Amino acid sequence: MPLNIVLVEPEIPQNTGNIVRTCAATGSNLHLVRPLGFSVEDKYLKRSGLDYWNLVNIQYYDSFEQVKEKNKNALFYYATTKANKTHSDVEYDENTFIVFGKETKGLPEELLNANKNHCIRIPMVDIKEARSLNLANSVAIVVYEALRQLKYPNMR
């Protein structure tokens, strides 16, 4: 079973397009939670995802609650700069959903507070000017750590 990437209200089409490409290269599923900050017909979205869109299982939802309801037995991790655990401190399994928030605000505080033990972060230097990494880069970093732990299933 592939990994699952969840983008909650993504805003920048180029980021989502790049994430589509990462999902295609890793066999990961992509779950998009509306509202999206762009049209899926957006030329920038298509250009950054190139011709990978047909290689990815993409599912759309009207709320994050729908994602949770549809995947009740899944393991969820929530990416945030506010977590104590790093992305490499946790154990991933083949039914893992890695949840990322919108580029400008991240995930809602109430969601993070309700799931503190499953929040993860990517280590960064401690300076105010470096608030966070690019969303597409963050997804790639976490996905490849999860796949490394799983011994790169179905990959060459």
Q: What was the pLDDT predicted at 50? A: 60
Q: Is residue 118 part of a domain?
A: yes
Alpha helices in 2-129 (DSSP H): 13-26, 43-49, 64-70, 109-114
Amino acid present at 2: P
Q: What was the pLDDT predicted at 7?
A: 98
Rounded to the nearest 5°, which phi and psi values hold at 33? -100, 125
Q: Find how far residue 79's CA is from the centre of its chain.
A: 8
Q: What CATH number does the domain containing 143 carry?
A: 3.40.1280.10
The residue segments making up the domain with residue 8 are 4-149
* Cα distance from N-terminal residue to C-terminal residue, the chain: 16
For residue 2, cis peptide bond before it (omega within 30 degrees of 0): no
The mean pLDDT of 99-110, rounded to a whole number, is: 96
Enumerate the known binding-site residues for S-adenosyl-L-methionine. Answer: 101, 122, 132
Residue 156 within a domain: no
What's phi and psi for 119, nearest 5 deg? -90, 140
In this prediction, residue 115 has a pLDDT band, given cuts at 50, 70 and 90, of very high
Binding residues: 101, 122, 132
pTM of the model: 0.93
Number of domains composing the chain = 1
Residue 127 lies in a domain: yes
Confirm whether 78 is domain-assigned.
yes
- CB atoms < 10 A from the CB of 71, how many? 15
